[in-house]
Amino acid sequence: MVLFLLDTSQENAEMHNETHKLNIMEGGFLSGRNPFIFNEKSPLPTFIIQLLIIICMSRLVKLILSPIKQPSVINEIISGIILGPTGLGHVPMFLETVFPPKSLPFLNLVSNFGLVLFLFLVGLELDPKILKKSRVWQFHWPG
């Protein structure tokens, strides 16, 4: 720190300015950053907004479809249709603002992780004894 204060070269001043700019970008919307403008160095604010929009839309569709006893998977599929290019994708600048193309790899990564976790939980509920008793698996199940 003392060396930085004593050295007043142009290179250290530029490095300090770049560090200051990164700190402002990482500060989020409280520092004046627009969370809808995607930054690859700091994708978290955009991801949180996307996640909130997806969860709120899913809960809204669940609230609407709960009187007709629809399962949650159907609610999530309908929410995806509404938020995707088939529904709100026709609204000008919606997809470019809320789901910019550069942010989709991050969203895709988290969604694939969630899918693997969901399939793991489904596998935990699977009972091999029930499979052994079913007629379809009788010929293929050893023992």
Q: At what angle do helices 104-125 and 44-65 cross, to 10 degrees?
A: 50
User: Could you report the per-residue pLDDT of 12-25, keeping only the tens digit for each?
Assistant: 545 545 554 544 45
Annotated domain spans of the chain: 26-138
User: Could you report the per-residue pLDDT of 37-90, keeping only the tens digit for each?
Assistant: 777 777 888 888 889 999 999 999 999 998 998 888 898 899 999 988 888 888
Which of 24, 54, 50, 59 lies closest to 102, judged by CA?
50
Query: Has residue 28 got a pLDDT over 90?
Result: no
Mean pLDDT within 114-137:
76
pTM of the model: 0.65
Query: Has residue 11 got a pLDDT over 90?
Result: no
